[in-house]
Amino acid sequence: MVDGINPAQSPADLRLERRIFAASHGRDLTPEERETLERIRPPRTYPVWLAVQSYDGPIAMLPIAQLYVRDVPDLSPPEGKDLLQVLWCPFDHPIMPRTLLFWRSAAAVTDILDTPPEPPAVQFDGYLPEACVLEPEQITEYPDHLELSEELREQLKQWSVPQAAEEDMDPDTYYDCVLSNAPGWKVGGWPAWDAADPSPQHCSECGTGMEVLMTIATFEEGDDVGNSWSPHPHPGAGPYPGHRGYNATGVQIGSGYRQHLFVCPAEPEHPHIELMT
């Protein structure tokens, strides 16, 4: 269902809107472009009609990521699987899209569709990903400072004083900016706790402590001054309307958050957990 406050748009219209904004960057919109944009998003009249729109029957899900173990060796797939496909429903469930994980054998994927099915509508522009080619890079990061003991935090603060002085940075934020969670999309690593307190996640099937499988992020670089995690942007990579910063995927989680997918390390095919931070 879609509420009347945020009318859903078709994937085709959202892609057309993005092309218009990209083509008109640095100049005024043409009359034809304005007309097209007003067709896609007609001017609202208030009060907003608070009805709901529903779609009968199943709708297609959108692909979010396709990862091969040969490219991302830390995936730790189930026995005999070497491919992970992540799909999501582009509507809130209730505050973010619901994801499905498919662990597969790449050799068994032979019947490939030239034009995969798409849903009739998408709730938010940020729920329609732009196609991107991955260039995986393995890095080392450390837990969020909120997951550390007070004693260790104090030790890190003292250690950071001379390091931060060299970079003209605040010692209180040096660890978070330089060593802790890398922003952006990633596989594995540590969760960020910007919008929530640290909370251990446990498998609903076996009780095993769950680990981050992947992070779906709004931005590829952090907002903190001096943040050392910064990708090399490709020509034409974002930003898109409603987005700030480098955003090649066009995805927006909430108001600029991350969606973490936790899986059971004992059995990756057990139900996973989604958490927005």
CA 275, CA 97: separation in Å to the nearest integer?
11
Task: Provide the mean pLDDT of the chain.
Answer: 85
pLDDT digits (tens, 9 = 90+) for 130-162: 988 878 888 889 999 999 999 998 999 899 999
Predicted local confidence at residue 239, as pLDDT = 46
SS3 211: strand
Q: Which of 191, 239, 229, 227 is nearest to 211 (CA)?
A: 191
- Which of 238, 264, 215 lies closest to 99 in space, CA to CA? 215
Q: Which of 32-41, 50-59, 99-108, 200-209 has the lowest mean pLDDT?
A: 50-59
Whole-angstrom distance between the N-terminal and C-terminal Cα of the chain? Answer: 24
- HEC letters along 113-174: CCCCCCCCCECCHHHCCCCCCCCCCCCCCCCCHHHCCHHHHHHHHHHHHHHHHHHCCCHHHH
> Counting Cβ atoms within 10 Å, is residue 187 exposed (0-12), middle (13-18) or buried (19+)?
buried
Please, are residues 44 and 6 in contact by the beta-carbon 8 Å criterion? Answer: no
User: pLDDT tens digits for 128-137?
Assistant: 999 888 788 8
CA–CA gap between residue 121 and residue 99 (Å, rounded)? 17
Instruction: Please give the sequence-ordered ranges of beta strands (E in DSSP) within the chain, or none if there are none.
Output: 2-3, 52-53, 62-68, 83-89, 98-104, 186-187, 211-217, 258-263, 273-276
Q: Kindly state the average pLDDT of the residues 16-43.
A: 92
Q: Would you say residue 49 has pLDDT above 70?
A: no
If you search the block for the tokens 């390091």, which residue do you land on? 163
Q: How confident is the model at residue 240 (pLDDT cuts 50, 70, 90)?
A: very low
CA–CA dist 113, 110 (Å, integer): 10
Bigger pLDDT: 82 or 7?
82
Measured between alpha carbons, how far is 14 from 186 in angstroms, rounded to an integer?
A: 25
The region of weakest confidence among 14-23, 31-40, 65-74, 191-200 is 191-200
pTM for the full model?
A: 0.82
For residues 175 and 156, what is the distance between their CA atoms, to the nearest angstrom?
A: 7
pLDDT band at 228 (very low <50, low <70, confident <90, very high): low
What is the spatial distance between Cα 162 and Cα 183, in angstroms, rounded to a whole number? 24
Helix axes 171-178, 150-167, angle to 10 degrees: 90
Predicted confidence at residue 183, as pLDDT, reads 86
232: confidence class by pLDDT, cuts 50, 70, 90 = low
pLDDT at 238 over 60: no
Pairing type for strands 83-89 and 258-263 reads unpaired
